[in-house]
Structure 1
Amino acid sequence: MEFKDRRDAGRALAKALEAWRGRPGVLVLALPRGGVPVAWEVARALGAPLDVLVVRKLGFPGQEEYAMGAIASGGVRVMGEADAGWPVSARELEAVVAREQAELVRREQRYRGGRPPLDLAGRVLILVDDGLATGATMSAAVQAARAGYPKQVIVAVPVASTEAVQSLSALADEVVCLFTPEHFRAVGLWYQDFTQTSDEEVDRLLA
């Protein structure tokens, strides 16, 4: 399975979430930036409101594409189980956290503007991203969402590694994933067009 782009993936994912179309209390939360075009299609198809839940991956120094953990709104920090055995000093870790925290705040201010914090209590939350590699970023998102006392938390992605789906299944009430390749390697390999989503596109879709 290969998706043309994130919007195409969102339309396919929406079909798998059809049971939630028109149901009250459903809120689609995108993980910016790449999750926003996917989530926009899901929200449009389900007739549900769309918002963002800002999460930042904590990449290894010099190998930023590999996640050693993630942070999310509300002070949530999730670290990989094996991080203690990897060669990253406490000083290096805190430098990464400080940098990503600053970017998290910047994105929240830009994407949310003057809007108040989300009221998640009693709602069905559908957390959407363009794919899951390690699942660390989505794990932080689920924990941040749980802090708002929702009724249910559903993780929905077009593609993911088997390991990520297994780890998220222990955290979320449900995981909807269209494709778990046997040889996953990277999210972008399963898209014909995986051009980075810009702040401007996020602004336009949220508007």
Structure 2
Amino acid sequence: MRFADRADAGRRLARALVDYRNRDPVVLALPRGGLPVAAEIASALAAPLDVVLARKIGVPWQPELAMGALVEGDEPIVARNEAVIKAAAIDERAFAAATQRARVELEDARRRLLGDRPREAIAGRAAILVDDGVATGATARAALLSIRRRGAKTLTLAVPVASAEALAELRREVDDLVCLERPTRFGAVSAFYADFRQVTDEEAVAILARFSPAAR
């Protein structure tokens, strides 16, 4: 399966999630790439849309390789990928320095994307976390832990495509997992999209504005 773009992936996911429409859902995107996907789902389910702000903690000389992830909160959650840390021979000082950089980036993203926008209530609701794809699963796992901490009644991960290894790890964290494409060989999320251009801050803010509490 190949998706035309993130909106196409979101529409396909929405069809698989139609039963959630009457479960008091709240859709939560991992920005920025997850937002166009999540917007289609939120529209189809008549659900509010919010984000879970997270930052990958990358290996210093290979930033795209996640050795962990940091997720927003009163007490930010740090999820470690011990296999990558060990393989890359990362010591605790290097991990702590990379985590601090992620904290700065996370706060910057909060200001740029959210400003003073009120956050959606999650406690007691059916929370659906959405991204445009999952490779290692480090960021998604940290986000799921954060949502669970906020008191979601049920927790679902919905993604168009993911690696088998990541799904095996993430399944333990959720009540339901919806993934449309589970390739035996996984190179990069972008390989499953015809159009995988970067989502800009302006596009992300515009999507969130469509689903602001004031707009409902």
Q: TM-score, normalised by structure 1?
A: 0.95
1:41 aligned partner: 40
Q: C-alpha deviations, 1:113-157, integer Å up to 9, x for none?
A: 213454211011000000000111100000000111110110000
Task: Pick the aligned partner of 2:90 from 77, 88, 91.
Answer: 88
How many residues are paired up? 206
Q: C-alpha deviations, 1:3-28, integer Å up to 9, x for none?
A: 1111111111111111112x252100
Task: Give the Å deviation of 1:73.
Answer: 1.0
**1:19-98 matched pairs, under 5 angstroms:** 19-21=19-21, 23-74=22-73, 75-82=76-83, 83-98=85-100
Task: Give the Å deviation of 1:202.
Answer: 0.2
- RMSD (Å), alpha carbons: 1.2
Task: State how far apart, in whole Å, the 1-side matches of 2:14 and 2:197 are.
Answer: 21
Task: Give the Å deviation of 1:160.
Answer: 0.2
Q: C-alpha deviations, 1:39-96, integer Å up to 9, x for none?
A: 0011011111111110111111111111111010121000013224532222221221
2:172 aligned partner: 170
Which stretch of the first structure deviates more once superposed, 48-57 or 118-127?
118-127
1:149 aligned partner: 151
Q: Is the counterpart of residue 15 in structure 1 residue 24 in structure 2?
A: no
1:137 aligned partner: 139
Task: State how far apart, in whole Å, the 1-side matches of 2:142 and 2:56 are.
Answer: 9
**Residue type of the alignment partner of 2:182:** T
Structure 1: gaps (5+ residues): none
Distance 1:11 1:117, change over 3 A: closer
Which stretch of the first structure deviates more once superposed, 74-83 or 148-157?
74-83
**Residue type of the alignment partner of 1:122:** G
Structure 2: gaps (5+ residues): 210-216
Identity of aligned residues (%): 48
**Residue type of the alignment partner of 1:17:** L
Give the match's secondary structure for 2:28: strand
Task: State how far apart, in whole Å, the 2-side matches of 1:6 and 1:136 are.
Answer: 21
